[in-house]
Amino acid sequence: MRPGRVLVDEEAIATRLAEMGAEITADYEGKDLLLVAVLKGAFMMMADLARHILLPVDIDFMAVSSYGAATETSGVVRILKDLDQEIAERHVLIVEDIIDSGLTLDYLRRNLEVRQPASLEIATLLLKAGIQRVPIEVKYVGFEIPPDFVVGYGLDLVGKMRNLPYVAVMEED
């Protein structure tokens, strides 16, 4: 397997993140906003999106694991690293790289809701359209994509290819 056709190029990502940042800036004006990125995949999205949010935001990270070394979702979610801070009464925006089955975010959302944030929303760069196994409300979506396995811009195949500056579809050699 190798990265093949570019699905979302660098320029499209940059343009869309600027739009999403502007939208988020308007929506959270005057509010105490905490951005929570889901590691490892969302590290690049977090860095780029945060620069387009013109508010004094706080950032934090969670690490969860829903995949083993396979490219199929297991439905099993483990918290590998929890937040460093309390989120009660705060406005929390989860920053994700991709939503596939939706099981990871469904678990995460319920886990964070128990902590009683003032609000809890989701921003994802990519959404595999129509294949979610659980209903999931996503406030900010970068791009809807087909259900192919993709890599780059944070997304990996067995740990590699996260550093590609674009999103590409995997192809057979």
- Give the shortest CB-41-to-ligand IMP separation in angstroms: 4
With CB under 5 to 8 Å by kind, the binding choice for 102 among Mg ion, ligand IMP, none is ligand IMP
For ligand IMP, the binding residues in 116-155 under the rule CB under 6 A are 149-151, 155
Q: Are 157 and 1 contacting, i.e. CB atoms less than 8 angstroms apart?
A: yes
Contact with Mg ion (CB under 5 A) among 21, 41, 117, 142 = 41
- Contact code string over 33-52 relative to ligand IMP, x by CB under 6 A: --------x-----------
Q: For Mg ion, which stretch binds (CB under 5 A), given 6-14, 39-47, 73-81, 112-120?
A: 39-47
User: Cβ atoms within 10 A of the Cβ of 94, count?
Assistant: 22
* Annotated catalytic residue 82: no
Q: Which residues pair with 21 in a beta bridge?
A: none
The nearer residue to Mg ion, 41 or 152, going by C-beta atoms, is 41
d(CA 2, CA 56): 40
Active site residues: 100
